[in-house]
């Protein structure tokens, strides 16, 4: 009945008001659910809405864009070879807590300790002395949002001292000379006052990077969700490239997913950007999405062509994206809201219908996304652990039910479309294999496992539908702990490039325009005020684990960390209250005095702020905290549209007890 109601209402809204009347937000847990991922593209295509938002624009989209510009494909991420490098520069990431992210690696701590045991060194560049920095040989505090200056200074030093040596990639790169010119004004002396890192330290970093045999730079979310997110993410790869540290052992290499997404191809990827614009401020779309930061204003907009409905798919944007409080108000005014979610939380409580999926342990899984970000090649299948309740549906079924009902198509029919398409694609790439054979081996059971089996068979380790002893899903299932497919391999370039002529595009007009924007800051005073950054903890997972006792017990973690010098100047007490005021809001927070943040920087974790009525999260409400995303405002990394949640100017003042 719920599915029928949702199907009817969404179809009616679309028929009356057009496809863009239905907005959609796609959240993080989908990345941990292979069934959902396999059907996502179809879901998005059939919804075909220009009002599509996702957690990606508070996350990795600057890296998507920089990879797309450099290599022609948004999901071709170079992953640092943590197990074989001898000098690891970690920027804007805290893998000891996060378990890596665009460097997925179990037990990162042991790997860093192994690095040091083989006489390698770990350097952490972060405004906070993080858990990872505690393990490091050298921690450099950097002023938030200024990594692009530091990295361009390194680029400049490499050119000035004729240390540019791209190695085996030299003949495949376009734009080297132009880059030399662009980097010229970014000298250590010029960037030092901006970054807060002394010129001698910048030179030492450069010297050590050049003097070690297997250095590598890694950058993550602290480099993405900042003012120059795309530039910083791009520069991480550029520095690796200029020293021949890309696509090489101990450097950054490209994983080779067993399902075949990372194979050589003659296909040329087109940059998908600015095909439409947001209604309110005309911001360009990227990867078919508009910035999550703009979701509140886009949903509140009351023009003729306004949004009438919203679908959230495993996301809690009221807490996880900027302007969440305004979003809460805007969503409340829509005609119809459906949430695919397992909790009644700050976002789903606004829904007319909540469609809960099976949870992690109730469905099988394959590490579909993480095989393209992992530090070793591997394939792993996790069987279902718990039987779901009768009638429970997997996330992929709900996705297909939704668009199926809107388009008068059954789940089976939609699945068949995907199945046929995949079989045809595989037949086109495997010379000795026809569609009929592929289909007969794949069987006729509807669902993601059949598709996964086909991808594994067709992939680089697969049996190729030839009956040999290569990989199939059945074989993977019998490997209880997964299959180790070995270390990442060098020499993937230029084969996997999707650029025209298989060139590495060092420069692009989007990059050049942003370097020009960066250059305008040279020689200027740093703006006054404290800079706010985020923080992750082991026992938080974005916004959604706070209703479980094990994860919230103990001292509150939603504290504003302030350096002792700033605390003294502002008259703040440890565990006392302070008011944080930004350009868009003010909030009362609990202070934690700590010298792990650098002077001039304060840190507040995201995912808290469980203060909305109507949720059914009693425990989370007791540990409400404050949503940092209410404070951060509208700032965007301009090329990618990613939220600036790090390096936000705030004022802090004591609140009398």
Ligand X SMILES: Nc1nc2c(c(=O)[nH]1)N[C@H]1C(S)=C(S)[C@@H](COP(=O)(O)OP(=O)(O)OC[C@H]3O[C@@H](n4cnc5c(=O)[nH]c(N)nc54)[C@H](O)[C@@H]3O)O[C@H]1N2
Q: Taking CB within 5 to 8 Å according to partner kind, which of ligand X, Mo ion, none is near residue 68?
A: none
Binding mask 537-556 for ligand X (x = CB under 6 A): -x-xxxxx------------
The alpha carbon of 412 is separated from its chain's Cα centroid by a whole number of angstroms, namely 32
DSSP-assigned letter for residue 294: G
Q: Taking CB within 5 to 8 Å according to partner kind, which of ligand X, Mo ion, none is near residue 639?
A: none
In sequence order, the β-bridge partners of residue 530 are: 650
For ligand X, which stretch binds (CB under 6 A), given 55-63, 248-256, 467-475, 477-485? 55-63
Gap between the Cα atoms of 167 and 164, Å rounded = 9
Q: Is 81 exposed, middle or buried (0-12, 13-18, 19+ CB in 10 A)?
A: buried
Tracing tokens 């800079």 back to the chain, one arrives at 531
Q: Is 490 exposed, middle or buried (0-12, 13-18, 19+ CB in 10 A)?
A: middle
Residue (51 or 536) nearer to ligand X, CB: 536
For ligand X, which stretch binds (CB under 6 A), given 13-21, 52-60, 68-76, 559-567? 52-60
Residue (221 or 422) nearer to ligand X, CB: 221
Residue (149 or 419) nearer to ligand X, CB: 149
Q: Does residue number 337 form part of the binding site for ligand X (CB under 6 A)?
A: no
What angle is formed at CA 132 by the lines to CA 126 and CA 136, rounded to 5 degrees? 90
Binding mask 104-143 for ligand X (x = CB under 6 A): ---------------------xxxx-x-----------x-
> 3-class secondary structure for 90-125?
EECCCHHHHCCCCCECCCHHHHHHHHHHCCCEEEEE
Q: CB of 641 within 8 A of CB of 57?
A: yes
For ligand X, which stretch binds (CB under 6 A), given 237-245, 274-282, 448-456, 536-544? 536-544
Residue (59 or 592) nearer to Mo ion, CB: 59
Residue (59 or 514) nearer to Mo ion, CB: 59
Least separation in angstroms between residue 59's CB and Mo ion is 4
Q: Which of 94, 248, 397, 582 binds ligand X (CB under 6 A)?
A: 94
Binding mask 49-88 for Mo ion (x = CB under 5 A): ----------x-----------------------------
Residue (475 or 606) nearer to Mo ion, CB: 606
Binding mask 620-639 for ligand X (x = CB under 6 A): --------xx--x-------
Q: Taking CB within 5 to 8 Å according to partner kind, which of Mo ion, ligand X, none is near residue 625?
A: none
Q: Is the peptide bond before 390 cis (omega within 30 degrees of 0)?
A: no
The alpha carbon of 235 is separated from its chain's Cα centroid by a whole number of angstroms, namely 17
Q: Could you tell me how many helices (H) and strands (E) the chain has, helices first?
A: 24, 27
Residue (3 or 97) nearer to Mo ion, CB: 97
Q: Does residue number 250 form part of the binding site for ligand X (CB under 6 A)?
A: no
Q: Taking CB within 5 to 8 Å according to partner kind, which of Mo ion, ligand X, none is near residue 166?
A: none
Least separation in angstroms between residue 547's CB and ligand X is 9
3-state class of 504 per DSSP? strand
Q: Which of 9, 63, 139, 220 binds ligand X (CB under 6 A)?
A: 220
Residue (491 or 614) nearer to ligand X, CB: 614
Q: Which of 20, 68, 81, 147 binds ligand X (CB under 6 A)?
A: 147
Q: Does residue number 27 form part of the binding site for ligand X (CB under 6 A)?
A: yes
Residue (97 or 430) nearer to ligand X, CB: 97
Q: State how far the alpha carbon of 46 is from the alpha carbons of 344, 405, 411, in Å.
A: 27, 11, 13
Residues 494-533 contacting ligand X, CB under 6 A: 533
User: What are the structure tokens assigned to 628, written together?
Assistant: 């940092």
Q: Which of 57, 73, 195, 226 binds ligand X (CB under 6 A)?
A: 226
Q: CB of 558 within 8 A of CB of 527?
A: no
Q: Taking CB within 5 to 8 Å according to partner kind, which of Mo ion, ligand X, none is near residue 629?
A: ligand X
Least separation in angstroms between residue 514's CB and ligand X is 16
> How many residues sit close enough to ligand X to count as binding (CB under 6 A)?
60
Gap between the Cα atoms of 632 and 648, Å rounded = 6
Gap between the Cα atoms of 483 and 485, Å rounded = 6
Question: Which of 572, 609, 569 is closest to 592 using CA atoms?
Answer: 572
Q: Does residue number 630 form part of the binding site for Mo ion (CB under 5 A)?
A: no
Question: In the chain, what is the straight-line distance between the N-terminal and C-terminal CA atoms, in Å?
Answer: 53
Residue (130 or 212) nearer to ligand X, CB: 130
Q: Does residue number 328 form part of the binding site for ligand X (CB under 6 A)?
A: no
Neighbours of 174 (CB within 10 A): 14
Gap between the Cα atoms of 509 and 418, Å rounded = 36
Gap between the Cα atoms of 611 and 589, Å rounded = 14
Q: Does residue number 317 form part of the binding site for ligand X (CB under 6 A)?
A: yes
Query: Residues with Cβ < 8 Å from 102, sequence gap 6 or more?
Result: 60, 63, 77, 79, 218, 220, 373
Q: Which of 55, 82, 338, 602 binds ligand X (CB under 6 A)?
A: 55
Gap between the Cα atoms of 75 and 515, Å rounded = 23
Q: Which of 13, 28, 173, 229 binds ligand X (CB under 6 A)?
A: 28
User: What are the structure tokens assigned to 418, written together?
Assistant: 């995907």
Which CB contacts under 8 angstroms, 24+ apart, belong to 422-428?
422/451, 422/454, 422/455, 423/454, 426/454, 426/458, 426/465
Q: Which of 72, 145, 215, 635 binds ligand X (CB under 6 A)?
A: 145
Q: Which of 13, 21, 58, 239 binds ligand X (CB under 6 A)?
A: 58
Q: Taking CB within 5 to 8 Å according to partner kind, which of Mo ion, ligand X, none is near residue 647?
A: ligand X
Binding interface with ligand X (CB under 6 A): 27-29, 55, 58-59, 91-95, 97-99, 101, 125-128, 130, 142, 144-145, 147, 220-223, 226, 314-317, 320, 340-343, 345, 357, 359-360, 395, 533-534, 536, 538, 540-544, 606-607, 628-629, 632, 645-647
Binding interface with Mo ion (CB under 5 A): 59
């Amino acid at each position: 009945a719920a599915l029928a109601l949702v199907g009817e209402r969404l179809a009616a809204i679309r028929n009356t008001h057009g496809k863009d009347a239905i907005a959609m937000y796609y959240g993080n847990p989908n990345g941990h659910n292979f069934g959902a991922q396999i059907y996502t593209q179809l879901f998005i295509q059939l919804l075909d809405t220009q009002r599509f938002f996702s957690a990606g624009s508070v996350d990795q989209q600057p890296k998507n864009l920089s990879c797309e510009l450099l290599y022609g494909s948004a999901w071709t991420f170079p992953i640092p070879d943590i197990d074989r490098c001898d000098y690891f520069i970690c920027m804007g990431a805290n893998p000891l807590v996060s378990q890596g992210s665009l460097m997925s690696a179990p037990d990162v701590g042991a790997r860093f300790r192994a690095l040091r045991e083989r006489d390698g060194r770990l350097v952490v560049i972060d405004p906070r002395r993080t858990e990872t920095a505690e393990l490091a040989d050298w921690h450099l505090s950097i002023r938030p949002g200024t990594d692009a200056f530091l990295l361009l200074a390194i680029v400049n030093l490499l050119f000035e001292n004729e240390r540019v040596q791209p190695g085996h990639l030299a003949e495949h790169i376009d734009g080297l000379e132009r880059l030399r010119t662009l980097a010229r004004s970014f000298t250590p002396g010029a960037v030092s006052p901006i970054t807060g890192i002394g010129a001698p330290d910048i030179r030492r970093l450069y010297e050590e990077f050049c003097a070690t045999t297997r250095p590598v730079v890694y950058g993550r979310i602290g480099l993405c969700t900042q003012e120059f997110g795309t530039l910083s993410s791009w520069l991480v790869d550029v520095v690796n490239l200029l020293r021949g540290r890309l696509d090489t052992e101990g450097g950054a290499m490209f994983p080779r997913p067993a399902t075949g997404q990372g194979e050589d191809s003659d296909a040329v990827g087109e940059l998908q950007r600015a095909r439409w614009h947001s209604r309110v401020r005309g911001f360009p779309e990227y990867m078919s999405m508009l910035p999550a930061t703009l979701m509140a204003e886009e949903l509140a907009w009351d023009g003729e062509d306004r949004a009438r409905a919203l679908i959230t798919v495993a996301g809690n944007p009221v807490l996880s994206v900027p302007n969440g409080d305004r979003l809460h108000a805007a969503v409340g005014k829509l005609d119809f809201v459906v949430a695919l979610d397992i909790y009644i939380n700050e976002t789903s409580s606004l829904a007319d219908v909540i469609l809960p999926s099976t949870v992690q342990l109730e469905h099988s899984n394959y590490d579909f996304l993480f095989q393209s970000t992992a530090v070793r090649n591997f394939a792993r299948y996790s069987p279902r652990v718990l039987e779901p309740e009768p009638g429970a549906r997997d996330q992929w079924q709900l996705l297909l039910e939704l668009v199926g009902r809107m388009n008068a198509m059954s789940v089976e029919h939609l699945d068949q479309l995907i199945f046929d398409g995949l079989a045809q694609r595989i037949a086109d790439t495997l010379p000795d294999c026809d569609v009929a054979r592929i289909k007969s081996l794949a069987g006729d059971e509807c669902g993601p496992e059949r598709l996964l089996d086909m991808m594994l068979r067709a992939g680089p380790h697969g049996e190729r539908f030839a009956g040999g002893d290569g990989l199939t899903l059945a074989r993977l299932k019998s490997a209880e702990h997964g299959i180790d497919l070995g270390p990442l391999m060098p020499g993937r370039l230029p084969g996997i490039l999707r650029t025209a002529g298989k060139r590495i595009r060092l420069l692009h007009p989007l990059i050049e325009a942003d370097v020009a924007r960066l250059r305008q800051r040279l020689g200027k005073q740093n703006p006054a005020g404290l800079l706010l950054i985020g923080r992750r903890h082991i026992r938080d997972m974005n916004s959604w684990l706070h209703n479980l006792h094990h994860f919230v017990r103990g001292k509150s973690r939603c504290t504003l960390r302030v350096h002792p010098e700033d605390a003294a100047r502002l008259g703040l007490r440890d565990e006392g209250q302070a008011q944080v005021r930004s350009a868009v809001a003010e909030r009362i927070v609990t202070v934690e005095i700590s010298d792990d943040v650098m002077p001039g920087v304060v840190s507040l974790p995201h995912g808290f702020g469980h203060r909305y009525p109507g949720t059914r999260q009693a425990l989370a409400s007791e540990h409400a905290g404050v949503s940092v995303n209410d404070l951060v405002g509208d700032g965007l990394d301009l090329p990618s549209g990613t939220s600036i949640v790090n390096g936000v100017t705030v004022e802090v003042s004591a609140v009398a007890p």
